Structure 1
Amino acid sequence: MPSPRFDITHFSLSRHGMPVLADVSFYVDPGEIVCLLGPSGGGKSSLLRCLNRLTEPPPQTIFLDNQDVTEMDVLALRRRVGMVFQQVALFPGTVADNVAYGPGLQAESLPPEEVSRLLALADLSAELAGRDSQELSGGQAQRVALARALATEPAAMLLDEPTSALDPAGRHELLALLASLRGQVTIFLSSHILADVERVCDTIGIIREGELVLV
């Protein structure tokens, strides 16, 4: 599935009647890696969630390949735009069970060799396929969640604070993995650590007092 272009146009968002983001406009070319940087509660995660309508955005503010996301079938949109949450929640069962979960929802089986390919793409050994998902380290769980999201062959990925629970080595490994996907998948990630993301992102958007500034 070709990676898409996103256009965000005059996007504003309020929470409990209070403005969070005001008149945000920018675009993302296919295959780029974009980081939204800013303090907790500043609107980074809220904007990410609007990109695939986990939070409903205002109409005519977010476009995926020139199509208003609010007019798209929401399930089809989420198949194209996957998300990995800050708090990784793996399902009970094996690593392979988790990786195969998304295709299973679409009545598609995932053969063992495809599970191995996805684990390798997430920089994990195929030997982990049979391991209990609850026995993984934080870094391993984060990468399994990424492999699970990639299993549905999304054109774009949203990653909310993907490095927040990782040690420095784990952060370096995950960011190197994301960099290896440049050009194949359009990637948005949020963070509050500039040093972590500046070396892998094509564009960095700093959210400050409700406004977004691209650097």
Structure 2
Amino acid sequence: MFTFENVKYKDILAIDDLKIELGKITCITGPSGSGKSTLLRLINKLISPDSGIITLNGEDIADINSVDYRRRVPMLSQSPVTFPGDIRENLLIGRKFQAKDEPGDDQLKKALKAVSLDESLDKDIENLSGGEQQRVSIARLMLLDSDIYLLDEPSSALDDLTEDFVIKSMVDMANDQNKTIIYVTHSKSMADKYSDKVIKIVDGRVYNG
């Protein structure tokens, strides 16, 4: 479980008390600029709170090695992160960073299918649209086989049909394997349909958390 106690970050976010259960799908919603992405970055240790404590299973995350921690708790940013090369290389690079064995092409193709992307593994990443690159980024994250995933508006560049397919694939994977997803979205329909818990942030304050 993640717990937040008296956490403050600048004048952007103030959390008196918040608990996020593991093995669940938690959605973070709220208006633009309310602090949703800031909360996700705090969980990922990309930024540190000015005061207060964030713990994971009782351990202060400030005391955990940041590299090791982010291997356990990877985050997908709003804008797709790609690397020079083909789709295969982009899918494998996350596993290399984690020093894990490389999956074979069959597993890579399965990951692409899960994000509704029917492209050759040999296709240059630069020849994909922004939405397709985002789906490659999501597939790469899923291949990490971590216990906890942080997603910052994972479907922002996708059409409604693809959004539903991709989010459902990730949620099904998480439920089948008892993994945790914490994601930010502006889509009320996605939040209602694919969340065990919804955290709403308004003007830097947490509600229903």
Q: TM-score normalised by the shorter chain: which range applies?
A: 0.7 to 0.9
CA-to-partner distance for each residue in 1:71-102, whole Å, 9 max, x for gaps? 00100100000111101121121111011102
Which residue of structure 1 aligns with residue 157 of structure 2?
Answer: 165
Secondary structure in 2 aligned to 1:23?
strand
Q: Which amino acid aligns with 2:8?
A: S
Whether the 8 Å CA contact 2:35–2:203 is kept in 1: the answer is no
| 1:112 Cα offset (Å) | 2.8
Which residue of structure 2 aligns with residue 112 of structure 1?
Answer: 105
Of stretches 140-149 and 103-112 in structure 1, the one that deviates more from structure 2 is 103-112
Which residue of structure 1 aligns with residue 69 of structure 2?
Answer: 77
Which residue of structure 2 aligns with residue 52 of structure 1?
Answer: 44
Whether the 8 Å CA contact 2:78–2:156 is kept in 1: the answer is yes
| 1:122 Cα offset (Å) | 3.8
Secondary structure in 2 aligned to 1:195?
helix
Which residue of structure 1 aligns with residue 80 of structure 2?
Answer: 88
**1:7 maps onto 2:3 in alignment:** yes
Q: Which aligned segments of 4 or more residues in structure 1 are displaced greater than 4 angstroms?
A: 106-109
Q: Which amino acid aligns with 2:193?
A: R
Cα 1:189/1:106, change in 2 over 3 Å: closer
Distance 1:107 1:210 in 2: 37
Secondary structure in 1 aligned to 2:133?
helix
TM-score by length of 2: 0.88
| 1:60 Cα offset (Å) | 5.3
**1:132 maps onto 2:124 in alignment:** yes
The alignment-based identity, stated in percent, is 31
| 1:37 Cα offset (Å) | 0.5
Secondary structure in 1 aligned to 2:193?
coil
Whether the 8 Å CA contact 1:43–1:210 is kept in 2: the answer is yes
Distance 1:107 1:214 in 2: 38
Distance 2:183 2:12 in 1: 18
Cα 1:120/1:24, change in 2 over 3 Å: farther
Which residue of structure 2 aligns with residue 194 of structure 1?
Answer: 188
Q: Which amino acid aligns with 2:105?
A: P
Task: Supply the RMSD in Å over aligned alpha carbons.
Answer: 2.1
Secondary structure in 2 aligned to 1:61?
strand
Distance 2:68 2:106 in 1: 26
Cα 1:178/1:25, change in 2 over 3 Å: farther
Distance 1:118 1:143 in 2: 10
| 1:172 Cα offset (Å) | 1.4
Q: Which amino acid aligns with 2:202?
A: R
Distance 2:42 2:128 in 1: 30
Secondary structure in 1 aligned to 2:149?
strand
Number of aligned residue pairs: give it. Answer: 206
Distance 1:81 1:29 in 2: 14
Alignment gaps of 5+ in structure 2: none
